[in-house]
A = this chain, B = another copy of it.
Amino acid sequence: MLIMMSAQATEEEVANVMAHVRDRGYQPIELPGADRLAIGVLGTNPVTIRDAVVALPGVVAAIPVSKPYKLVGREWHPHASVVRVGGVPIGDGAFAVAAGPCAVESEQQLVDTARQVKAAGASLLRGGAYKPRSSPYSFRGLGAPGLEHLRRARELTGLPIVTEVLTPGDVEAVAGAADMLQVGTRNAQNFSLLEAVGEAGRPVLLKRGLSNTIEEWLLSAEYVVAHGNPDVVLCERGIRTFETATRNTLDLSAVPVVRALSHLPVIVDPSHATGHRHLVPSMALAAVAAGADGLLIEVHPSPDEALSDGPQSLTFEQFSDLMEDVRRLTRALQHEIVAGPSQASR
């Protein structure tokens, strides 16, 4: 950590800061600059005294030198991780597409969709039984019967299931039906939920919070890994900005940034990010080109009738066309798309 003193700091103030650092077991070192003094702090994890130091008279700032995450960081774990979801690998060259409706609406809707997306080349089935909605008056998912439909769809198609869990009390039930637990954007800093999924023994799909920095997102992943679950896949799904032409602003630069900082796989959800069906294919292809390890795509048998997120869902035909383009692109980029397993396998 580096402590920057004010240009007007008195000798007494400097001495006080030096003493303070020493009292707390760290070694201060004076670094005179052209117009002010800086003080380096040596020792293990000096950031723990940062708040106290910043408040001392004469101190302008205290800048941490180390990254705040360890388990998910690439510095200590240089090789890319592969996360397996019901037999489907994601990461380190393995590219996977999860597709399906925003919300599970009926067994037939789900099974039809599962068959179609599998035929088109998806390797995972997504669908929400529990839906977070900003209004209490919107459709919030079928709940437990939705989980039953997901189980049935896996049984019939062999596609592993990705579904969202909203609260620690539901983790056990959802983990009983799902191959991968999704933590949504509004729960990205719901630390109780992160701990619960950290202990659930299922891979986790961690969406980036609407206004989370990449560092905060990685710290949320650190919560899950620190609770015993190394199988985290990160999902960029758009951040909140001033632009209103899209639902959110898809931050595709986050893909190469995350790959540089972390060994965890990172996939992209262009459906929620853009909020408009006609923008999904181009942003899906852009995500592939940016180096994403997979995609999360909303597909619905009849988007105009969807109970949730219809305007951003692709039809079966649109999804099938998109998968053609994705394959063309991954071939050009020499990636490999992972096919879904022929049998459900957990």
- Chain A residues within CB distance 8 Å of chain B: 2, 4, 6-8, 20, 29, 31-36, 38, 40, 42-46, 51-52, 54-56, 63, 65-66, 68-69, 75-76, 78, 132-137, 140, 166-170, 186-187, 189-193, 210-211, 213-216, 219-220, 222-223, 226, 239-246, 249-257, 260, 273-274, 277-279, 282-283, 285-291, 303-306, 308-311, 325, 328-329, 331-333
What would 12 A/B residue contacts be, using CB atoms closer than 8 Å? A7-B75, A7-B76, A33-B42, A52-B305, A63-B63, A134-B216, A167-B167, A240-B240, A256-B283, A288-B289, A329-B329, A329-B333
Within 8 Å CB of A282, what residues of B? 255-256, 289-291
Given contacts A32-B42, A51-B306, A136-B226, contact A65 B311 (CB under 8 A): no
CB neighbours of A40 from chain B (8 A): 31, 33, 38, 40
Q: Which residues of B contact A223 (CB under 8 A)?
A: 136
CB neighbours (8 Å) of A134 from chain B are 189, 216, 219-220
Q: With CB as the reference atom, state the residue of chain B lying closest to A7.
A: B75
B63 near A283 with CB under 8 A, answer no
Query: A222-B135, A245-B215 given as contacts; is B189 within 8 A of A167 (CB)?
Result: no
Of B36, B186, B305, B325, the contact of A66 (CB 8 Å cutoff): B36
Residues of B within 8 A of A190 (CB): 167, 186-187, 190
When the two chains form the complex, which single residue of B44, B242, B274 contacts A240, counting CB atoms closer than 8 Å? Answer: B242
**Given the complex of chains A and B, what is the CA–CA distance between A313 and B254 in angstroms?**
19
Of the residues B2, B219, B290, contact of A283 by C-beta under 8 Å: B290
Q: How far is the CA of A284 from the CA of B229 in the complex (A)?
A: 35
For the complex with contacts A38-B65, A55-B304, A250-B251, 13 further pairs of A-B residues with Cβ separation under 8 Å are A31-B31, A31-B42, A55-B311, A69-B135, A132-B191, A136-B226, A168-B169, A170-B192, A211-B240, A215-B245, A239-B242, A285-B333, A289-B289
Residues of B within 8 A of A45 (CB): 34
B residues in contact with A66, CB < 8 Å? 33-36
Chain B residues with CB under 8 A of A187? 190
Q: Which residue of B lies closest to A59 (CB)?
A: B311
The CA-CA distance from A6 to B66 in the complex, in Å, is 9
Knowing A66-B36, A287-B286, A308-B51 touch, does A253 contact B240 (C-beta < 8 A)? Answer: no
* CB neighbours of A239 from chain B (8 A): 241-243, 249
Q: Which residue of B lies closest to A223 (CB)?
A: B136
Minimal Cβ-Cβ distance residue in B for A309: B51
Give 10 closest A-B pairs by Cβ, nearest first. Answer: A211-B211, A332-B332, A167-B192, A289-B289, A186-B189, A286-B290, A285-B289, A286-B286, A51-B310, A211-B240
